[in-house]
Amino acid sequence: MGNFLELLTSTLTQGFLYALLAYGIYITYKILDFPDLTVDGSFPLGAAVTAVLLTNGANPYLTLLAAVAVGALAGLATGLIHVCLKVRDLLAGIITTTALFSLNLQIAGSNLTVERAVETIFTAPPTMALFGGMTLLYRKLVVSFLLVLLLKLLLDLYFKTKNGLLLRAVGDNETLVTTLAKNKGTVKVLGLVIANALVALSGCVVCQEQRSFSATMGTGQMVFGLAAVIIGTTVFRKLSFVKGTTAVVAGSVLYKGCIQLAILAGLPANLLKLVTAVLFLVILILGNLQKSGVKQHA
Amino acid sequence: MKKILSALLTAVMIFSLAACGSTSSGNEETSSEAGTSTETVSESEAETPSTKYLIGICQYGEHASLDNCREGFLQGLLDSGLLTEDDFEIDYQNAGFDDAITTQIAQSFSAENVTLMCAIATPAATACYAAAEDKDIPVIFTAITDPVAANLDSGNVTGTSDKLPVEAQLDLIRTLQPDADVIGIVYTSSEPNSVSAIAEYEAKAGDYGFTIESIGVTAQSEVTQAVDTLISKGVDCFSNLTDNNVVGVLASMLEKTNEAGIPVYGSEVEQVKLGCVAAAGIDYYQLGIQTGIMAAKVLTGETTCEDLPFETISEYGIYINSAALSEMSITVPEEVMQKAVEASES
């Protein structure tokens, strides 16, 4: 069973690392109802900044803050393009992502590896002092879990504040926000800033975990995030005590679990994506079955 | 209650499926799992050659050259004499050019306690090297142009580089097209292999009396536009790198260049088969064999990755496509003809 445990550990770790990105998409897609394509650019942006900082000897914990800051700027760019320049939501994200692709290449080149000797948040002294007794594999799980938990609690708190409620109101009913004498544009920009800060943070920890940045690592992250959010919220749709943020983490873990299953299935390597797609479909169908079952009883 | 039950059921199903998968792969190597650290495993195996090695091959994506690498690697293991197919087992995974999946494949290899990881292409190598950190599993890579730039030149990792013989290619173009001035190159600005090759082309072109007109693209869909632009700039020929995006749309590139009457030089045998006029390039199958032999040395404990520096291909070949050459009315001088290998498909 040692193998299974290890595999479960690394899959959970992946799920947690990418859950930070899924939080971001949860805010834009599920709460703000804003299809934010900035993600494919802000994710590698966080990784690029992290890789460059780490190779130049920066404190690994500070790179988390740096990634949050640059991610927030990326979100701000999309928000301002959309709100001030009146560019449509999808296009605003596309513009920022396209620009970020070049920017990422400028920052970190096409590929940058962080050597084993360089400390990451998983190997730096403060982490080692707390969890030094574990092997790297389990340390990665614990650190990523703590990060996800911390941000989940922060987000849950934030959604209860006045500002957080406004964010939800913009997604549900824009007119209401206007009648409250609040500027819906400002709220949207704020949502995008928070979301992309989270996405870049995810890029930062993923970069530290796999010790490398590649310019193409952002491709398809938007699709992953959407799938994670939809899988998570579908599976837990009727469990009202499960918060959206928790559902999103579960969605991310399920997504990575499906890929892991497809890898394990031992089918021809080219069928990997097909197997993954079938697994997603099964999960979504199961989620929908729940819903119709409830209707029959009602 | 029903909903909670079905949600739980989903979770149980998924995890039990995962358990099935991992136990089946686990059985394969429990026999070879002698100790916790891989080093002790390989030492004990050197004494008892009957134990099976489990080799995880992580290939970045489906691609003719990378496939050749993999097949060559397997041949190299057999060629090294010490091993027959009964001595090793292969877990081959293909990531479909997805970086996140590459990471997961590498981590599943680590969980399986593979004896050695073989990584094909740079993203696969960085992912495998990161996943192997915990257990210090040796990683053998191939099809990486610049292992030094990728920080893969030290540690428990080694392999082969597919660095292009740029000078040989420039020499070949000069011989076949004595009047040519400008070489057009389309490359992907995010592919590390292409970026370092372009730098070398630009540094060496002057020595052979060429200037380079290059266009960097970010996606496969932009390649044909870049080709059109270079044709309109009046380049005398095109030279390809081992660039995945460009090679992926080589057929439509050749359609345009043939219409314009501009010859295209490839960088390896597969491109010449598809219709490039000629190439001074590497044979990825040979590169794979070289890699497989290195892997065998590490597996048997003859040497370690630390003591085995990465290798570049020892020989390059000259490949020609006679049909394409005659269409461009290029005559091949006798001395080149003697060295060249005909690589046309027909």
Long-range pairs, B268-273, Cβ under 8 A, ≥24: B268/B65, B268/B242, B268/B319, B269/B317, B269/B319, B269/B341, B269/B343, B270/B64, B270/B65, B270/B68, B271/B240, B271/B247, B272/B319, B272/B320, B272/B321, B272/B324, B272/B343, B272/B344, B273/B321, B273/B343, B273/B344, B273/B345
Residue ranges of B 149-188 with Cβ closer than 8 A to chain A? 149-152, 155
Q: Does B196 touch chain A (CB under 8 A)?
A: no
Burial class (CB in 10 A: 0-12, 13-18, 19+), B208: middle
- The architecture in CATH of the region B166-281+316-342 reads 3-Layer(aba) Sandwich (3.40)
Contacts of B151 (CB under 8 A, 6+ apart): A113, A114, A115
User: Hey, are the CB atoms on B101 and A272 less than 8 Å from each other?
Assistant: yes
* Cβ atoms within 10 Å, residue B76: 24
Contact A210 B155 (CB under 8 A): no
Residue ranges covered by each domain of chain A: 2-218
Q: What are the chain A neighbours of B127 within 8 Å (beta carbons)?
A: 210, 212
Q: Given the DSSP bridges, would you call strands B211-217 and B116-120 parallel, antiparallel or unpaired? A: unpaired
CA of A240, closest CA in chain B: separation in Å?
A: 11
| B122: closest chain A residue by CA | A111
The pair of three-digit structure tokens given for residue A217, joined into one six-digit string = 């690592």
Quick one: pLDDT at residue A101?
94
CB hemisphere CA count around A259 (13 angstroms): 28
How many angstroms separate the Cα of A72 from the Cα of each of A65, A76, A81, A145, A149? 10, 6, 14, 23, 21
Contacts of B183 (CB under 8 A, 6+ apart): B173, B201, B205, B210, B211, B212, B213, B235, B236, B237, B238, B239
Contact call for B192 and A109, based on CB within 8 A: yes
Q: Which helix (H) or strand (E) holds A145?
A: helix A136-160
Q: Which has the closest alpha carbon to B182: B207, B204, B205?
A: B205
SS3 B325: helix
C-alpha triplet B200, B336, B238: angle, nearest 5°:
40
pLDDT value for B49 = 46
Locate B247 and state its tokens.
């090679």
Of B108, B130, B134, the CB nearest to A211: B130
Convert A193-220 to b/e letters by CB count within 10 Å (16 or more is b).
bbbbbbbbbbbbbbbbbbbbbbbbbbbb
Query: Among all chains, which residue has been given the structure tokens 């536009």?
Result: B225
| Distances from the Cα of A132 to the Cα of A118, A127, A187, angstroms | 17, 7, 43
**Which residue is it, tokens 């590169």?**
B287
User: Which three-class secondary structure state does DSSP give residue B124?
Assistant: helix
Full DSSP string of A4-19: HHHHHHHHHHHHHHHH
Collapsing DSSP to helix, strand or coil, A72 comes out as: helix
Q: How high is the pLDDT of residue A34? A: 93
DSSP 8-state symbol, B288: H
User: What strand order describes the sheet that includes B53-59?
Assistant: B88-94, B53-59, B116-120, B139-144, B157-161, B311-312
Give the E-state strand segments of chain B in sequence order.
Answer: 53-59, 88-94, 116-120, 139-144, 157-161, 182-188, 211-217, 237-239, 264-265, 278-281, 311-312, 317-320, 340-342
Q: List chain B domain ranges.
A: 31-162+286-312, 166-281+316-342
Q: How far is A78 from chain B (nearest CA, A)?
A: 21
Please state, in angstroms and as integers, the Cα–Cα distance from residue A40 to each residue in A216, A245, A252, B132, following that order: 9, 21, 16, 28
Ranges under pLDDT 70 in chain B: 1-50, 82-85, 314, 345-346
Residues 6+ apart with CB under 8 A from B87: B49, B50, B52, B53
Does A261 contact B99 at a Cβ distance shorter than 8 Å? Answer: no
Task: Copy the structure tokens of residue A286.
Answer: 């199961």
CATH placement of domain B31-162+286-312:
3.40.50.2300
Which of the residues B67, B70, B108, B137 would you substitute to probe the A interface, choosing the one with the greatest number of A C-beta atoms within 10 Å? B108
CA distance A191 to A171: 10
Using a CB-CB distance cutoff of 8 angstroms, which residues of chain A are in contact with residue B26?
Answer: 2-4
B112 contacts on A by Cβ (under 8 Å) = 3, 7
- Global pTM exceeds 0.90: no
B14, B28, B90, B113: best to mutate for the A interface, most A CBs within 10 A: B14
Q: Would the CATH topology of B31-162+286-312 be identical to that of B166-281+316-342?
A: yes
Q: A99 near A41, Cβ under 8 Å?
A: yes
List the structure tokens of A58.
Answer: 């920066």
ipTM: 0.86
Minimum CA–CA partner of B91 in chain A: A266
Report CB contact under 8 Å: A293, B2: yes
Q: Are the C-beta atoms of B196 and B245 separated by less than 8 Å? A: no
Whole-number CA gyration radius for chain B: 23
For chain A, 298 residues long, the average pLDDT of each consecutive 10-residue run is 82 96 96 94 97 95 97 97 95 96 92 90 93 91 96 96 91 86 91 97 96 90 93 86 93 92 78 82 80 48
Distance (Å, whole) CA B201 – CA B193 = 12
Q: In chain B, how long is the greatest CA-to-CA distance?
A: 83
Separation of alpha carbons B247 and B30, rounded Å: 42
Question: Is B214:B185 a contact under the CB 8 Å cutoff?
Answer: yes
Cβ–Cβ gap B107/A224 under 8 Å: no
Residue A105: its chain B contacts at CB < 8 A?
189-190
